[in-house]
Amino acid sequence: MYTRENAPLTPEQRKHLDNVLANSRIEGYEITDQMIDDAIRIILGEKTSDEIRDEILQRYGVTPETTPDT
């Protein structure tokens, strides 16, 4: 699991992470270790936001819906 301390981020990526976390906090979200890890994986390109969304839904026992191609 990535943390702010161990993530291999460039200075620009670290600033992006800080902005994401600050905006989330302003919007009233509790910043968790999992949220930080998810954000870092998106910033590093390891996961897409859709993949993280599906993982979050699965954590809560919700089966992600697939939308048919149009």
Number of domain units in the chain: 1
Tell whether 51 is covered by a domain: yes
Per-residue model confidence as pLDDT tens digits over 20-52:
999 999 999 999 999 999 999 999 999 999 999
* Domain span at 39: 11-59
Tell whether 46 is covered by a domain: yes
Tell whether 45 is covered by a domain: yes
Tell whether 67 is covered by a domain: no
* 60 pLDDT more than 70: yes
Which whole-number Å values give the CA distances from 29 to 12, 16, 68, in the listed order? 23, 17, 31
* 8 pLDDT more than 80: yes
Tell whether 1 is covered by a domain: no
Tell whether 3 is covered by a domain: no
Q: What is the pTM of this model?
A: 0.81
Tell whether 41 is covered by a domain: yes
